[in-house]
Amino acid sequence: MDTSMQEDPQMILCDMCTEEDRKPARKTCMKCEISMCSQHLQVHLTTPVLLQTHPLTEPMALCGTTKCPQHGKLLEYYCLDDMTCVCVSCAIEDQHRLHNMKTFSTAHKELLEKLTAEQQALEVKADDENVSLEKWEKNEREKLGGCSVRLIEAVTHLRDISLSSIQSSVSARMVSVKTSRISIQAAQKEKDTFRFLQMYSQVHQDVEKAKAVDLRKGLEPGSHRDKLVQEIIEARRKKNSCFISTL
């Protein structure tokens, strides 16, 4: 037996091969809850009843995740309202019966298309916000650059602190957008329908969180900067007044 095969923890081996000569699995039957190599897979592919009623997926470690914990039946549908995999009893009898139900393959296709569209929207949003940040920084530098010579040192210091604070804040909020990109890309690369649907709920949460982020916050004109500048002007004016009074 190939020892390198045994050492690969990611490889799914055939459950029907002998223990001494287990070959790499080519498909996993969700109903039988077994993984099969090319040889043992032939029965599923050539028997009409098995081909129609036993869904096959890419090799995966099932660990009992293909059965409904409530009814013990095979998970065959995806509830778009609750973003969870359900069995036929859940779909027609329980709380999901009035929900938007899809087969795994249909849900995979529709949700993948949705993620692609949302990824494009987030890319546009991120590009637009980056341009806004650059424009804001340019305008702020131009405004602050017009301060008097007496205040230039203090204003320069204030400018750097202000820019650094806003940039740090926007960068922190950009993490949500970056996280959503990573989640979407991971989902788009997942070829296995069952694993895609299991991870979609978290991807959806990441996307919604990114969509809710307001990257413009802190870039709008406000009184905070003006107040600080005025305080510096007043402090310098008082200092000059005290100096004159001592003459």
* pTM listed for this prediction: 0.51
State residue 5's pLDDT score.
44
Cα angle 49, 50, 53 (rounded to 5 degrees) comes to 80
CB 23 within 8 A of CB 17: yes
Q: What is the mean pLDDT of each run of 10 residues along the chain (247 residues)?
A: 49 86 88 87 89 82 73 86 88 83 88 91 79 76 62 67 70 81 89 87 87 70 59 62 48
State residue 127's pLDDT score.
77
How many alpha carbons fall within 13 Å on the CB side of residue 14? 18
State residue 226's pLDDT score.
61
Q: Kindly write down the DSSP assignment for every residue of 192-232, as one continuous string.
A: -HHHHHHHHHHHHHHHHHHHH--TTTTTS--HHHHHHHHHH
